[in-house]
Structures are given as structure tokens and as C-alpha cells.
Structure 1
């Protein structure tokens, strides 16, 4: 039976042989993060995918991430270790809804969160991530915004940008949606010294308990650079691997809600599957139809341009 050390060695060898780069999201297993060439949130990995010099990209994440990497690097082979790892939020948005909103509100800007399909991106004016959404939406000339698919990030943006008028798609992340206010209060009572760091995919009824609201990368930065002795992390618990790597020796303590936020789709990405897809060339991400490619790539490229 191969152990993680043997698998990691084989992954490193295969990367050299195939001129491959492994991109891993902060939410996947720590053993996968450790063999990755780049670890990041959706925005950071999108930037990397657009700039890489390699023949193959192995994307350790969920389907929309691999699809975005292929759109930004169409000449490269993009492989997914777990091609069945979807994103429930991405399935909560569709082109038909965008068409209805545009018909009812001529001139509205359609802004789609990166957690979306290529077809939804193609039907949108610009794509955003939680790292850059506020900056990009603020820069748009339109006052009316249709934000899809995440209603919670959309609501958060509406409070940050009161001069804009938002129409929100009713989608959400089931993991962040399930965060319980009572469990946040429970940790705060037990550890009043802990600073609360929360992702904007959480519902507004729990965001009020946060000391900081921001992207995955932002949460990690706060935990690493902050001067508090303890932190309550309110996002998918895979981030703890990177936080602990960067804070070793600082003596900081990290807590999660009693019901730990775990993404079952991110958990499908294992070190063995990374090795298998590199070795066998499985899980290749196809390019969408040409018209979808053109529109989706434009939305992603506009995001990268506006976020500079």
C-alpha cells in the first residue's frame, strides 16, 4: 500500500516528465496542497492559470475551477484529479434567468461569481471572485447590477456599495449557508479573545458576528499577520493547513464552529487521484463550444484586467 510520501515522490517525478504544474485550492486536503506548485484561492489560481509556462495543468479543485483554467489556457491540457467534484452553487445559476433579467432591466450589468459554469460566464458582462468583487463592481459604469449565483456575497456587496442597485440570484454555498449563529456565539463565549474571520458566502445573519469578512486568501492573511492570540475561522476547514504552515511557532490558536465547515466535493481530491491523473492522463477538461468559450473568456479576462 503506497503511503503519502511515496505518492508525493511519484507526483513530483511525473510533473517533471510531463512539464506539468499542479494548482491546488486552499480547501483541498493538505497532502495535495503540499505537492502543488501553486496554492491559492479562486482569484489567485485564475491569475496563475493565465500565465503558466507548461504543457499540462492539473487542477486540484472543483469543476468550475478546471473549466476556468482551460478557458484561460486553451492551448494547455487541463486535467482534474476528481472530475466529478462539482460546486452546488454553480448549479444554482442559469442563462435563462440572466436573459429574463436583461429583458426586464435593459442596460443592467450582469456580474457572475467565479463559482459558475462557462455558459453563465459567457452570458455575463464580467466575472468576479470574493477577493476582487467589491473593486470590480464599484468600477462598473452601470448602477443596476444582477449578481449571480451567490445571494450572500451579493448582499454583502450591496451593503458595501449602497450607490448600486442589486438584483440577486437566489443561489448559495450549502457549506457556508449552514453556518449556525449559535455555534459562532458558543465559540465566542468560550474564547472571547478570538478574532472572528468569516467568508462573505456566509449569510448576513452571521456576518454581523465577524471582525473581518473577506476571501479565503484574505482570511489566511489576517490569521497569519494579525496580533490576536486566537482566531475563529468561518470558512471551509481546509484553510487550516496553510494557516498552520505560516504561523508555526507563533503560539496562535485556531477554532472552527462545532459543526466544522467541510466541502464534500473538495474532499474528493486526494493525493492518489492527483498521481493517477498525472500518470494516466485522465480527467481532461474539454473546451466548451466556441461561442461559449469566447464569451466566458471575455468575462474572465475583463475580471483580470479590472482587478489589477
Structure 2
């Protein structure tokens, strides 16, 4: 439990360092409570470019802090734990991208999920997030779209944009992929009529049981708008804190699969590490080499441009 003394210390450290803390929905609830802004990857990426603070502290995994640095290179970007990574971010090879470009030529766009390394972004034409992927892919002038690195989000996008030929890469989020359809079915049997709200990083068997598919923020909005008392949530358990805050007093109950979906990398972002980062200025994120930085920044900026339309 957070004490008043701890909250005051964090507030003081933020003032002294001219820092703002951005936290993803998947980090521990206590860290979210100390943050200035909490959101999903797209909301935080867009917000980070508008904040006046000279230091951004990113309570999330490495690709998020890296993206913030790419978009705001003049500012210091700090991570409470620089080892917090995303396995899926590394699940694409340049040879896959080059082979698709050779096959389809100018009628190919490479759409790179923001959950990726800067290098992978630099090979791409545009970045996307789970909240805007369908809209952005639909808006691309090319008919053929290589979607990297997540095959599950890519498959969901393909189901929504039938006019496009979406080519899938063999990457995945281990946490969402491993959400068990059998466990979801058991929850549905236990809670008749409870809607299932799923993140499209889930595997096809679990997605087939969903009543709603969307990004983390879209799941939260749908849960808040729902008339249901019980809701089955298929994403990382860290979102529970925001669901409970948004729906406080409503009597709503949120049910996750029996095998709790926890991201071990997000769990590395603890209160102690956040405080140490603010106090000592540790975990500073640097820029990649100029060619990579320029390419990745171009793909991120195109995402912000197309995502705002």
C-alpha cells in the first residue's frame, strides 16, 4: 500500500527532475497510482510528444521508452528497469521484409506493430498499435500489407479489411497467445451471459469466444459502457487496476482466466525501481544509430499522422 510519505517523496522527486511519469496499463497498480498519465502504447506515444517536462519516465517496457526517445530526442527518457523487454518486439527478421518487398514491389506497405524494436520500425513504412491498426491499414494506398511482428493482431486486422492482402509474420505475444480457450469456456459456463472482451493479440481459439475485440484502452471503455455485472477479460491482468478505478461503485466484477495472464517484464516495473530512477536518474534510454533512428521515427510519425485522421 502506498503511504502519504511515499507519494510526497515521488512528487518532490518529479519536481526536482522536471519529470513526468507515464505508465502502461500492464505495470503494477501501485506504479500506475504514482504516474501522471496512464494509458496504452498509442495514447502514451502521442501524449509524450506534447508534454513540456524535460524528463520522461516511462513505466513500461523498452520499446515504449525507445519510441518516446525517438519522438522526443531532445529530452531525457528514463526507464525504472531497462531490462524490461518485450519478446515479441524481436520476432521479425529483415529478410522477411526484404522478401516481401521483392515480391510485391511498390504495391506493398510494411505495417509494424509498435511493439517492436527501433530497427524493425526502421524497415517499415508505418507503425500501428492495436487501437489504430485497422484504421491505418485500411488507409494505406497499397493493397498488399506485410504486418509485423504479431501474427495474431495481423490476422485480426486481416479479418476487418477484406479489401487488403495482409501477409502475416510468425511473431506473437507469449502472454496473450497462452490464454487458454478451455479456461475461457469454463468462465463462460460459470458466468452465463457475461461478455468476453479480448485483446487481438490472443490466439485464434480464444478470439473465437470473444464478444468484443480491442486494444487495452478500448477494452476498458467497453467494460465501463457495458450493462453487464460480470465481464470476462482476456488481456494482461495489470489492466484490472484501471478497470476497477473506471468502474468504481458500479458493482461490476472482472474475471480473468484461471492461469493469470501476467507479463513478467511489466511486473519488473516496481515502486522501488521507479523511486530509484527518479532519485538517481538511472535507466536513461539512448538513441540508436542515425539511420535506424531516422527510419523508425519516420514510421512512428506516419502512425501519429494517419492515426489522427
Same fold (TM over 0.5): yes
Aligned to 2:51: 52
Which structure 2 segments of 5+ residues have no match? none
Q: CA deviation at 1:241?
A: 0.2
Cα separation, 1, equivalents of 2:10 and 2:287: 25
Q: CA deviation at 1:85?
A: 0.5
Q: CA deviation at 1:98?
A: 1.2
Deviation sequence 1:234-286 (CA, Å, 0-9, x none): 00000010110111111111100111110000000001101101111110000
Cα separation, 2, equivalents of 1:7 and 1:169: 45
Listed as ranges, the matches of 1:284-303 within 5 Å are 284-303=284-303
The TM-score normalised by the length of structure 2 is: 0.97
Question: Is 1:19 equivalent to 2:18 in the alignment?
Answer: yes
Question: Which secondary structure state, in structure 2, belongs to the residue aligned with residue 263 of structure 1?
Answer: coil
Aligned to 1:195: 195
Deviation sequence 1:54-74 (CA, Å, 0-9, x none): 110000000000000000110
Cα separation, 1, equivalents of 2:274 and 2:7: 9
Question: Is 1:282 equivalent to 2:282 in the alignment?
Answer: yes
Aligned to 2:8: 9
Cα separation, 2, equivalents of 1:182 and 1:290: 47
Question: Is 1:261 equivalent to 2:267 in the alignment?
Answer: no
Q: CA deviation at 1:217?
A: 0.1
Question: Which secondary structure state, in structure 1, belongs to the residue aligned with residue 250 of structure 2?
Answer: coil
Aligned to 1:129: 129
Aligned to 2:208: 208
Listed as ranges, the matches of 1:244-255 within 5 Å are 244-255=244-255
Question: Which secondary structure state, in structure 1, belongs to the residue aligned with residue 282 of structure 2?
Answer: coil
Q: CA deviation at 1:97?
A: 2.1
Cα separation, 1, equivalents of 2:170 and 2:73: 32
Aligned length: 306
Deviation sequence 1:82-124 (CA, Å, 0-9, x none): 1000100001113232122212221211000000000111110
Cα separation, 1, equivalents of 2:63 and 2:111: 16
Aligned to 1:39: 38
Which structure 1 segments of 5+ residues have no match? none
Listed as ranges, the matches of 1:70-109 within 5 Å are 70-107=69-106, 108-109=108-109
Cα separation, 1, equivalents of 2:93 and 2:275: 34
Question: Which secondary structure state, in structure 2, belongs to the residue aligned with residue 194 of structure 1?
Answer: coil
Aligned to 1:238: 238
